[in-house]
């Protein structure tokens, strides 16, 4: 009698409700290292029962020390950013969990395949952006020439700018923006977030000072409710970041609702990350 034919595991996408469970419970197999990453980042597959997916595993043991963030906390911050993103309903961060892996505890995030040709950032001549673009600032374009750095006037980017303001993202670079073939946009690399001090550094300053859209205000109100001491988002964040950092997140949500506007760059911290891409 021949053995029954093995059914290949079903691939899981970022919109699949089973993605987070797969990441948390599946068997991780390291396939290679992502050498461009500043901390140890391993390309893996994760398999559980009849499901599998590609993912990124960043072990805490591979985090390099930073002067302004406690050692060994970046993986938890990545998972916390996903929890806040999930609470917004915008789902701007790929499914991410904190779990044990081949090299100890670390962040495990679903791998996102990007769509080529989706232009979100550009360097242009002139002092004002064309319609459909927002100005970030002047940048060196080589050979002593400066050009205007712009980002697309895109609702997906605008939502991401609001999320970054909530989580206090200190490193929103162009390479952290992942557009996909189905029209979605994901943001990755959220290890330097949730600091209690204002450290917002981003390329998405095009809406600075402008009124927040009604959609964003509604989302912020939902976050405020979810971040009460007994709220579900507070419960989700408690194992991942400190009580003081949760309090600071709550305060940032309140400040955004009070101002009703996108934040503006501060003066005591570089406003744009380097390198910007």
> What DSSP state is assigned to residue 103?
T
pLDDT in tens, 22-60: 999 999 999 999 888 888 999 999 999 889 999 999 999
* pLDDT in the model for residue 143: 67
pLDDT in tens, 155-202: 999 999 999 999 999 999 998 999 999 999 999 999 999 999 999 999
Question: Average of pLDDT values for 71-87?
Answer: 98
* pLDDT in the model for residue 142: 66
Give the mean pLDDT of the chain: 91
Q: Which of 161-165, 237-241, 265-269 has the lowest mean pLDDT?
A: 265-269
Does 227 have pLDDT greater than 80?
yes
* 32 class by beta-carbon count within 10 Å (0-12 exposed, 13-18 middle, 19+ buried): exposed
* pLDDT in the model for residue 271: 86
* pLDDT in the model for residue 3: 37
Q: Does the N-terminal peptide bond of residue 174 adopt cis geometry, omega within 30 degrees of 0? A: no
* pLDDT in the model for residue 185: 96
Per DSSP (E only), the strands in 27-118 are: 27-33, 42-48, 51-59, 96-101, 104-110
* pLDDT in the model for residue 241: 98
């Amino acid at each position: 009698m021949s053995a029954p034919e093995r059914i290949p595991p079903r691939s899981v996408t970022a919109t699949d409700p089973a993605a987070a469970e797969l990441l948390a419970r599946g068997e991780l197999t390291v396939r290679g290292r992502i050498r461009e990453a500043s901390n140890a980042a391993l390309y893996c597959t994760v398999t559980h029962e009849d499901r599998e997916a590609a993912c990124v595993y960043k072990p805490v043991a591979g985090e390099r020390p930073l002067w302004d963030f406690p050692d060994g906390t970046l993986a938890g911050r990545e998972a916390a950013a996903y929890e806040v993103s999930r609470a917004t309903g915008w789902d701007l961060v790929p499914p991410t969990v904190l779990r044990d892996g081949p090299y100890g505890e670390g962040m495990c995030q679903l791998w996102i395949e990007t769509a080529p040709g989706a232009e979100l950032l550009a360097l242009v001549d002139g002092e004002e952006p064309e319609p459909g673009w927002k100005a970030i600032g002047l940048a060196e374009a080589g050979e002593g020439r400066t050009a205007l750095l712009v980002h697309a006037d895109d609702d997906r980017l605008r939502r991401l700018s609001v999320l970054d303001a909530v989580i206090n993202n200190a490193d929103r670079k162009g390479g952290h923006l992942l557009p996909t073939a189905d029209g979605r946009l994901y943001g990755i690399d959220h290890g330097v977030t949730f600091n209690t001090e204002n450290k917002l550094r981003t390329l998405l300053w095009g809406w600075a000072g402008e009124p927040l859209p009604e959609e964003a205000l509604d989302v912020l109100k939902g976050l405020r409710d979810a971040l009460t001491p007994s709220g579900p988002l507070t419960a989700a964040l408690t194992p991942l970041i400190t009580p003081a950092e949760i309090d600071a997140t709550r305060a940032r949500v309140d400040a955004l609702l009070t101002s009703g506007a996108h934040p503006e760059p501060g003066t005591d911290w570089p406003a744009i990350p380097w390198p910007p891409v």
